[in-house]
Amino acid sequence: MDWMAKQRPNSTATARAPVKPGPESSAASSANVRVSNGLKEFLWLITDSGQGKILDLGAVFQSTVMFFIEKGFRLSTEDLLRSWKEFLLAEEESLRNAPVGDGNGRVSQGMLAGKFLDTALQYPEDHFHGVLAWDLFDYLDAELLPRVLERVYTVMRPGGAVLASFHSRAPERFNRYKVVDSQTIELVPTPTLAVHARIFQNREILDIFGKFRSSKTFVGRDQVREALLLK
Amino acid sequence: MLGRNYMWRKSEEGKPSAPGANAPEPAATTPNLNPTATPSATPAAEISVASAPVVSPAAPVAAASASTTAADMAAALSNVATISSGLKIRGDISGNCHLIIEGEAHGKIHLANGRVTVGPTGRVHSDIEAPEISIEGTVQGNLRARDSVRMGPTSHVQGSVLSPRIRIEDGASFRGKVEMTRPGEAAPSSGSASSQTPKAAVAAGPRG
């Protein structure tokens, strides 16, 4: 699929008009919902894929699953932050139970990241048309982040899109995200799964997604940036 | 090659609004357990208890034979078999009654009629196929339901889910693929692409 060649129907103007909230965003009056122009654009990009495959790297929610399935997509979900936390707890337990002097005393973060990805994000190459990653990449440890991005790039089809969010300041609480409609997402406060690792400058976001061929950033009123990147 | 953003300069006005965004979610309803349904082709359950005999089932897991009448079937469905906490079962399970798993099951579970419930302490390490499946515990395997699948807030599921109705409650942990079938549609047989867990899918496809 060649996104670069994709034309919007009835498109006459070349200048990009600002994205206006549609009627679907009327639910965005509550404090826990936000308009996601990134999601709107993401959906537009992957619509051509028909029975496209979507990978959601956040928590599973009924509304998100139904939203994509009703649009004809096939959805896979893998809560990466939760898996990472469970993996670290299991490793810690394993180390605690290991005999003293077993030689397993110190394991580097890089080794842990590699071991984690031996079982996580196991999908065929060029498989997904779209990847959702709200509140994920800026929560990952510096050793894990590049490995995860490399794996995400690998499992995406050429022309596929990844939608990720990045905080502009340290978040006050930890949220999971559920899709309400095509441009509204709901923030669900949950117990902290991972500590916010760092704030990425715009330039740094472009750098970590260096292998992707195009990008677009949306800044919300809450100063959360949504980055949409194409493979 | 970031920076080639000319593709974005397309008019927004032509951007189609996503259809079906406001479509109501199908509710997870109680399935109609048809007592007159044809009994399972499996004549008897294959249960091998590794550690201890099953002590608490209200009815045997293998409740129906090929010659079961409709009345017998209705009676079977009124019964519930339980794999209690502390029990570990290895081997396939099939039958026509409801099944509650509070212990551990290693082996395929296939109920032609009835509901499979994996309780909070239950662990299943294989596929489950039944008209209705409700998970509160842990399942590593694929779920195929003719009517509905429900994943409760304490559930941990790793595998594919194939059902016409899927109910996922907040707090559920799920890793795998979701596909929906039409109500009453028979789930594909084992080995189809949709039955692959992420791990299995890797084995089927190239990996770099």
Q: Which of A141-150, A189-198, B37-46, B156-165 has the lowest mean pLDDT?
A: B37-46
Distance, CA of A28 to CA of A36 (rounded, Å) = 10
Measure A119 CA to nearest chain B CA, in Å.
Answer: 8
Predicted local distance difference test score (pLDDT) of residue A80: 93
| Buried/exposed code over B145-172 (b: 16+ C-beta within 10 A; e: otherwise) | bbbbbbbbebbbbbbbbbbbbbbbbeeb
DSSP 8-state assignment for residue A231: -
3-state secondary structure of A186: strand
Looking at beta carbons, which residues of chain B come within 8 Å of A130?
A: none
Distance, CA of A139 to CA of B163 (rounded, Å) = 34
Q: Which of B50, B179, B190, B204 is nearest to B109 (CA)?
A: B190
pLDDT in tens, B52-70: 334 344 444 444 444 445 6
Q: Which of B2, B6, B135, B169 to mutate to test the interface with A (most CBs of A within 10 A)?
A: B2
CA separation (Å) from B197 to A56, A94, B166, B176, B200?
A: 15, 26, 18, 6, 5
| Phi, psi (rounded to 5 degrees) for A128 | -100, 140
Interchain CB contact of B80 with A (< 8 Å):
no
Distance, CA of B146 to CA of B87 (rounded, Å) = 28
Measure A176 CA to nearest chain B CA, in Å.
Answer: 10
Predicted local distance difference test score (pLDDT) of residue A132: 95
- Whether residues A7 and B10 touch (CB distance < 8 A) is answered with yes
Q: Which of A53, A52, A29, A71 is nearest to A186 (CA)?
A: A29
- Whether residues B175 and A78 touch (CB distance < 8 A) is answered with yes
Instruction: Work out the mean pLDDT of chain B and round it to a whole number.
Output: 68
Q: Which of B62-76, B79-93, B180-194 has the highest mean pLDDT?
A: B79-93
**Mean pLDDT across A77-96:** 91
In the structure, what pLDDT confidence band is assigned to residue A192 with cuts at 50, 70 and 90?
A: confident
Interchain CB contact of A22 with B (< 8 Å):
yes
Touching B: A residues 34-73, CB under 8 Å = 40, 43-44, 47, 59-63, 65-67, 69-71
- Given a contact cutoff of 8 angstroms between Cβ atoms, the answer to whether A116 and A144 are in contact is yes
- Given a contact cutoff of 8 angstroms between Cβ atoms, the answer to whether A185 and A39 are in contact is yes
pLDDT in tens, B166-191: 999 988 999 999 888 766 554 444 44
Distance, CA of B81 to CA of A200 (rounded, Å) = 55
**Mean pLDDT across A100-115:** 78
- Whether residues B177 and A63 touch (CB distance < 8 A) is answered with no
Distance of CA B208 to the CA centre of its chain: 32
Looking at beta carbons, which residues of chain A come within 8 Å of B205?
A: 123-125, 127
Number of residues assigned to chain B:
208
pLDDT at A167 over 60: yes
Label residue A48 left, alpha or beta by phi (over 0 means left) and psi (-120 to 50 means alpha).
alpha
CA separation (Å) from A1 to A75, A131, A209?
A: 19, 16, 20
Distance, CA of A228 to CA of A45 (rounded, Å) = 10
Tokens of A188: 């669900």
- Nearest chain A residue to B9 by CA distance is A16
Distance, CA of A228 to CA of A126 (rounded, Å) = 18
Instruction: Work out the mean pLDDT of chain A and round it to a whole number.
Output: 83
| Domains of chain A and CATH, by start | 27-96+127-230 (3.40.50.150)
Looking at beta carbons, which residues of chain B come within 8 Å of A127?
A: 201, 205
- Whether residues B18 and A71 touch (CB distance < 8 A) is answered with yes
Q: Which of B9-23, B63-77, B80-94 has the lowest mean pLDDT?
A: B9-23
pLDDT in tens, B96-146: 899 999 999 999 999 998 899 999 999 999 999 999 999 999 999 999 999
Predicted local distance difference test score (pLDDT) of residue B175: 92
Interchain CB contact of B72 with A (< 8 Å):
no
Stated as kind and residue range, the H or E segment containing A91 is helix A80-97
